[in-house]
C-alpha cells in the first residue's frame, strides 16, 4: 500500500514523471538479459520440436518397413494351379526356392455328425437323468448306421445329467460344458427338435455316445436305434508326386517345406501343380517407395544439421544418425552372399547422388531381380537384411543415452533451467523497480518540501517589503 501511495504522488514535487522514468531505467537494465533468455527459449523450443519430428520420422519409416517385410508379400509365394481344389500359403521365414510338386485330393477329412430322433415337444422336452458316456475311436458307417466301432486309447468321458439339465437343450449345454472334443446343438423343424452332435475331423475321431436309463434315447453308435449318422469320420487322402498320404485334417503342414496346404475340395484324378512365384512387381514398387521415403528422411536430417542455419547444427546425435543412414547403402545386408552376388543396396541398383539422396537405376534393379532373386529376397527378409539394419539405426537414433532421445532430454532440461532464470529475472526486475520507486519517491518528497519552504520565504519577503 505504501508503494502504491508513493506511485500515485510521484512527480508532484519535482514535476518529473518518475513512474515512467523508473520503468525506463528498469527495462534498460534487464533488456539484454531478457532478450538473451527469449532467444534461448525460442532456440530450445525449436530444437525440441525438431528432435521429436526426426525421432518420429525415422521410427515410422522403420516400423513401416518391418511391417511390410513381416507381411510376407516381398517373399517368394507358393502357387497352386487349381485353387478350387488346393490352396497354399507361405509360412513365415520359409525359403520356397525350387518349390515344385503335384497334389491330387482324393478325399477330404470329415467329422462325424450324428442326430437323434425328433422330440415332438421341442428343445424343452425332458429326456431323463443319468449318465452319458462318450468314447472316441474308429468306426464303420453304412446307410447312416454305425456297424462297427473300435475304441481308441483315450479314456471315455462321462457326462452327468440331472434334473437341472434334463431337457434336450440342457443336455446339449452339458455336453458342450464337458469340452470333451464334440459340440452339441439342438435343431428344430416341423417334426420336432433333434440333438445334433459333431466331432473333430479325422478317422480316429469317430465316437459313440451311450446313455443310461431314459438317456438311451440319445444313443449314438452300434446300440442306437433312433439316431442317424449323417457324416462319417474320415481322414483326408491325397497323392503327392505319386505317394498316397493320409491326414486327419484338411489343413496340412509339412507336405511341402514352408507351406501350409488347405484341401478345398476332393477331385480324384485332378493333379494340381504346386510351384512358386517371385514377387518381382511388388519388390520393384517397394524399392522405389523405400528410396522416396529415405530421401525425404535424409533431407530432413541434412537440413536440421546444416552448418549455417540448421536447428540441430550443434547436435552430435543428429549428425551421427545422418552418418548411419548414409552408410546404409554400403552395409552388407546378406552376410553369407556368394562373391559377386548382390548383398548391399548399392549392388541392387540404388545409387547415391552428390547431395546424399538416392536414385534407382531401373535397368540394374530389373537385372538383379531376374538374376539373383534369392539375394533380393534376403535383403527384404523379415527380421533380417534391410529391416534389421534400419531397426538398429532407429534404436540408436532414439536412444535416451546417446541418441536423439538424450538430446531431447538435454534440451528439455535446459528449457526448465531457462524458465527458472526467467523467474529470477522477473523477481530482480520487481525488486529494482520497488527500490528505485522508493528512492525517487523520497527525492520527490524532499523537492516538494524545498518548494514549500521557498514559497514561504517568498511570501515573507514580499510581506516585509510591503511594510516598508
- For position 35, what pLDDT does the model report? 72
- The closest of 383, 392, 214, 248 to 320, measured between CA atoms, is 392
The pLDDT score that the predictor gives to residue 449 is 72
Question: Looking at residue 12, what DSSP letter applies?
Answer: T
| Ordered mean pLDDT values, 10 residues apiece, the chain (468 residues) | 46 65 72 75 88 96 94 92 97 89 97 97 95 97 96 96 96 97 96 97 98 96 92 98 96 96 97 95 96 96 94 95 95 91 95 94 96 93 94 95 93 82 76 76 71 76 76
Give me the half-sphere count of Cα atoms (radius 13 Å) on the Cβ side of residue 326.
16
Interatomic CA distance for residues 110 and 89, integer angstroms: 22
Cα gap 187→161, rounded to integer Å: 20
Residue 71: Cβ within 10 Å count:
11
Total length of the chain? 468
pLDDT value, residue 1: 44
CA distance 186 to 173: 10
Q: What is the DSSP string of 271-309?
A: PEEEEEE--HHHHHHHHHHHHHHHHHHHHHHHHHT-TTT
Among residues 61, 42, 64, 41, which one has the least CA distance to residue 53? 61
Q: Is the CB of residue 275 less than 8 Å from the CB of residue 269?
A: no
DSSP per residue, 125-155: -B---EEEEEEEEEEEEETTEEEEEEE-SSP
pLDDT in the model for residue 2: 45
Phi, psi of 255 (to 5 degrees): -65, -40
User: Which residues, 6 or more positions from 399, have their beta carbon under 8 angstroms from its beta carbon?
Assistant: 405, 406
How high is the pLDDT of residue 10? Answer: 46
Burial 216-234 (b: 16+ CB within 10 A, else e): bbbbbbeebeebebeebbb
DSSP 370: H
The reported pLDDT for the residue numbered 465 is 81
Question: Residue 103 in contact with residue 274, Cβ under 8 Å?
Answer: yes
| Residue 26 pLDDT | 66
What gap in Å lies between CA 296 and CA 352, rounded to an integer?
14
Nearest to 29, CA basis, from 420, 430, 423: 430
Query: Shortest CA distance to 240 belongs to which of 368, 105, 148, 426?
Result: 105
Task: Give residue 6's pLDDT.
Answer: 45
Residue 259 DSSP one-character state: E
DSSP letter, residue 353: P
Given this model, what pLDDT does residue 27 score?
A: 75
**pTM to 2 decimal places:** 0.71
Amino acid at each position: 500500500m505504501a508503494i502504491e501511495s508513493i506511485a500515485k504522488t510521484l512527480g508532484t514535487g519535482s514535476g518529473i514523471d518518475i513512474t515512467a522514468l523508473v520503468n525506463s531505467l528498469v527495462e534498460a537494465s534487464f533488456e539484454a538479459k531478457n532478450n538473451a533468455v527469449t532467444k534461448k527459449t525460442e532456440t530450445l523450443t525449436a530444437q525440441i520440436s525438431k528432435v521429436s519430428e526426426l525421432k518420429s520420422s525415422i521410427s515410422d519409416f522403420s516400423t513401416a518397413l518391418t511391417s511390410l517385410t513381416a507381411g510376407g508379400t516381398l517373399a517368394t509365394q507358393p502357387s497352386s494351379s487349381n485353387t478350387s481344389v488346393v490352396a497354399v500359403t507361405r509360412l513365415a521365414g520359409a525359403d520356397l526356392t525350387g518349390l515344385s510338386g503335384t497334389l491330387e485330393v482324393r478325399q477330404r477329412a470329415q467329422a462325424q455328425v450324428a442326430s437323434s430322433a425328433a422330440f415332438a415337444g421341442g428343445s424343452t422336452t425332458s429326456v431323463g437323468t443319468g449318465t452319458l458316456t462318450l468314447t472316441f475311436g474308429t468306426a464303420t458307417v453304412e446307410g447312416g448306421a454305425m456297424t462297427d466301432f473300435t475304441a481308441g486309447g483315450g479314456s471315455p468321458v462321462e457326462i452327468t445329467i440331472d434334473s437341472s439339465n434334463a431337457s434336450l437343450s440342457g443336455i446339449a449345454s452339458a455336453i458342450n460344458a464337458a469340452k470333451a472334443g464334440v459340440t452339441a446343438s439342438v435343431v428344430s423343424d416341423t417334426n420336432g427338435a433333434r440333438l445334433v452332435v459333431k466331432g473333430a475331423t479325422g478317422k480316429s475321431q469317430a465316437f459313440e455316445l451311450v446313455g443310461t436309463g431314459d438317456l438311451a434315447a440319445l444313443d449314438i453308435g452300434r446300440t442306437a436305434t433312433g439316431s442317424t449318422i449323417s457324416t462319417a469320420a474320415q481322414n483326408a487322402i491325397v497323392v503327392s508326386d505319386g505317394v498316397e498320404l493320409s491326414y486327419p485334417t484338411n489343413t496340412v503342414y509339412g507336405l511341402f517345406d514352408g507351406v501350409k496346404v488347405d484341401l478345398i475340395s476332393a477331385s480324384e484324378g485332378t493333379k494340381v501343380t504346386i510351384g512358386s512365384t517371385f514377387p518381382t512387381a511388388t519388390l520393384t514398387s517397394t524399392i522405389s517407395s523405400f528410396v522416396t521415403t529415405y530421401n525425404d528422411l535424409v533431407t530432413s536430417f541434412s537440413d536440421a544439421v546444416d552448418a549455417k542455419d540448421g536447428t540441430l547444427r550443434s547436435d552430435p546425435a543428429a549428425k551421427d544418425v545422418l552418418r548411419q543412414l548414409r552408410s546404409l547403402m554400403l552395409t552388407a545386408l546378406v552376410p553369407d552372399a556368394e562373391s559377386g552376388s548382390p548383398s548391399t543396396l548399392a549392388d541392387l541398383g540404388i545409387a547415391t547422388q552428390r547431395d546424399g539422396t538416392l536414385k534407382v537405376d531401373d535397368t540394374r534393379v530389373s537385372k538383379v531381380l531376374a538374376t539373383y532373386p534369392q539375394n533380393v529376397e534376403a535383403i527384404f527378409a523379415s527380421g533380417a537384411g534391410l529391416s534389421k539394419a534400419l531397426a538398429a539405426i532407429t534404436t540408436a537414433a532414439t536412444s535416451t543415452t546417446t541418441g536423439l532421445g538424450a538430446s531431447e532430454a538435454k534440451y528439455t532440461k535446459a528449457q526448465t533451467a531457462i524458465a527458472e532464470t526467467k523467474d529470477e529475472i522477473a523477481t530482480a526486475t520487481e525488486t529494482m523497480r520497488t527500490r528505485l520507486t522508493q528512492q525517487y519517491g523520497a527525492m520527490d518528497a524532499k523537492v516538494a518540501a524545498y518548494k514549500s519552504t521557498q514559497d514561504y520565504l517568498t511570501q515573507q519577503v514580499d510581506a516585509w517589503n510591503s511594510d516598508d
